[in-house]
Amino acid sequence: MIEQTTAEDSLQRQRAGSIYLCLYGHFYQPPRENPFTGILPIEPEAIPYANFNEKITAECYRPNAEIGNFSSISYDLGPTLAAWLEVAHPEVYRLIIDADRLHRARYGVGNALAQAYNHTILPLANTRDKETQILWGLLDFRHRYGHNAHGMWLAETAVDLECLDLLAQHGVTYTVLAPWQAATSIDPTEPYIVSLPSGRSIIVFFYNAPLSGGVSFDWNTTSNADLFAASYLAGHLVKSKQDTGEAQLLLIATDGELYGHHKPWRDKFLSHLITTGAPDYGFEVCTLERFLLLHPPTKEVELRVPSAWSCGHGVARWDTGCECTEGDSSWKGHLRQALNHLAERGNALFEQYAGESLSNPWAARNAYLALRNGWETPESFWTQYGKEHRLPEDAQLVQRTLLLLEAQYYLQYSFTSCGFFFEDLDRIEPRNDIAFARRAISLLWQALGIDLQQDFLRDLQSVQSGRTHVTGAALYRQLPIVKEGLLPPL
């Protein structure tokens, strides 16, 4: 195999600099901590580790960080995962964050991207929630990496034009999409400009679907990095561009956990590919932002919207359900309706009561992440967002407003996309979304003594698993017991 490709190899080596390879890792896990205690449950399937966060850290985050892979790839580290890693494994966290700093020092641009905060399917969120998700993602990024993000990864690469416009409004210049999200013909070896109705624009990269799929799902594809570079990568280059020396980029985008967790030893495959395998075959390993610096896009594309990378039915997979998941997925629509009802009630109460102390409760919500995480002082927060432009003297009013803001925080969590991704309701991910909703109910109850639990349970009664026939209401009742007084009586 190696001998047969020698002539081709030398040709490719001569053209080094015009063919680029970018590996993209989306590092994220569904948040699973008990929202009342912040503690991750023991997960017996993760044995010998206490839970999957620990297992995946040992198999993927740590080895990839220690071997230096993060400094050569483009990546995003989900904010909710980053918050856990920062406390549980600060040395691993530091290596991942520092990779972006090293890349900036070397190339002038970073290689980390932000992520919309709660892994929410943005096309299914209202405008206000879209903006909060994007702003929290950017705020979180700025805090962790010490500079503004230029790229943002969207959960499931789910887009519509409104969320792209909000990204552009807030300084995000690029994102990554699946090739089938383009409505006009594309060559995925170059980025494109999307012109938005507002007159703004944003750049999109389309990943190489066969290569990304091969790396994700085909064991043989990634058993040997040299072979992968020699026989798989080369076959995806555009011949006419090779002939003229025009720059082209092969982008392989996958979940980051693939490298070591979903596939053992793939951290070493990745390392070998980016340090030796790809360069030996003429590829310059590059990150997205660096590629933009070298070769800014010149062509425009129109998009299919709404669309996502893991559903062929717009974003129905996370909405009403579709045949992307096996069996009866009608529970998805009912669960979303229950969560929407709860959020509508919670939002109205927030606007009414938080509006007594905050001049614009929604603007305050967008800044709340920094206050709750201690990145901003209460004095500074209240000076900017308080009606009186200072911390109110009425301690009870302050306390109530903080509870209402925290309820908003958990309402955002309750739309985590993972709850809608899989085939059935009777799984940990939908249960977690219900648990986050319960936390919001508790906070609203503590703030105002208003019971939103009853109506939520009624709505959850019509959410039913097609497999075990358990209802959403039953799942709610099975959630861990909390201290008396924290929830309305059942």
* Nearest distance in Å: CB 116, Zn ion: 20
In this complex, which beta carbon is closest to Zn ion, that of residue 252 or of residue 335?
Answer: 335
In this complex, which beta carbon is closest to Zn ion, that of residue 317 or of residue 336?
Answer: 317
* Nearest distance in Å: CB 316, Zn ion: 5
In this complex, which beta carbon is closest to Zn ion, that of residue 58 or of residue 322?
Answer: 322
Q: Which neighbouring-strand residues pair with 478?
A: none
Q: Which of 460, 441, 401 is nearest to 36 (CA)?
A: 441
* Nearest distance in Å: CB 177, Zn ion: 16
In this complex, which beta carbon is closest to Zn ion, that of residue 317 or of residue 332?
Answer: 317
CA angle 238–219–121, rounded 5-degree value: 75
In this complex, which beta carbon is closest to Zn ion, that of residue 266 or of residue 317?
Answer: 317
* Nearest distance in Å: CB 181, Zn ion: 13
* Nearest distance in Å: CB 156, Zn ion: 11
H or E element in which residue 204 lies: strand 201-206
In this complex, which beta carbon is closest to Zn ion, that of residue 114 or of residue 308?
Answer: 308
Pairing of strands 74-77, 284-285: unpaired
* Nearest distance in Å: CB 469, Zn ion: 24
In this complex, which beta carbon is closest to Zn ion, that of residue 295 or of residue 313?
Answer: 313
Q: How is residue 354 annotated by DSSP?
A: I
CA 456 and chain centroid, separation:
27
In this complex, which beta carbon is closest to Zn ion, that of residue 424 or of residue 459?
Answer: 424
State the number of binding residues for Zn ion (CB under 5 A). 5
* Nearest distance in Å: CB 419, Zn ion: 16
Pairing of strands 152-153, 174-177: unpaired
Q: Which neighbouring-strand residues pair with 114?
A: 152
User: Interaction with Zn ion in 266-325: which residues (CB under 5 A)?
Assistant: 311, 313, 317, 322, 324
User: Interaction with Zn ion in 315-374: which residues (CB under 5 A)?
Assistant: 317, 322, 324
* Nearest distance in Å: CB 333, Zn ion: 13
DSSP labels for 50-71?
A: SSHHHHHIIIIIHHHHHHTGGG
Spell out the residues 6+ positions from residue 263 whose beta carbon is closer than 8 angstroms to its own.
Answer: 219, 222
Phi-psi region of 245 (alpha: psi -120 to 50; beta: other; left: phi over 0): left
Q: Is 268 helix (H, G, I), strand (E, B) or coil?
A: helix
- The 447-486 contact track toward Zn ion, x by CB under 5 A, reads ----------------------------------------
Quote the tokens at residue 50: 């206490």
Q: Which neighbouring-strand residues pair with 300?
A: 193
In this complex, which beta carbon is closest to Zn ion, that of residue 79 or of residue 314?
Answer: 314
CA separation for the pair 78, 367 (Å, rounded): 19
CA separation for the pair 81, 93 (Å, rounded): 10
Helix axes 331-349, 428-448, angle to 10 degrees: 20
**Do residues 195 and 300 touch, judged by C-beta distance below 8 A?**
yes
Rounded-to-10 torsion of CA 70, 72, 73, 79: 30
**88 touches Zn ion (CB under 5 A):** no
Quote the tokens at residue 275: 């340090």
In this complex, which beta carbon is closest to Zn ion, that of residue 113 or of residue 311?
Answer: 311
Q: Does the CA dihedral 147-108-81-416 come out positive or negative?
A: positive
482 exposure class (CB count in 10 Å sphere: 0-12, 13-18, 19+): middle
* Nearest distance in Å: CB 315, Zn ion: 8
* Nearest distance in Å: CB 317, Zn ion: 4
Residues forming contacts to Zn ion in the complex (CB under 5 A) are 311, 313, 317, 322, 324
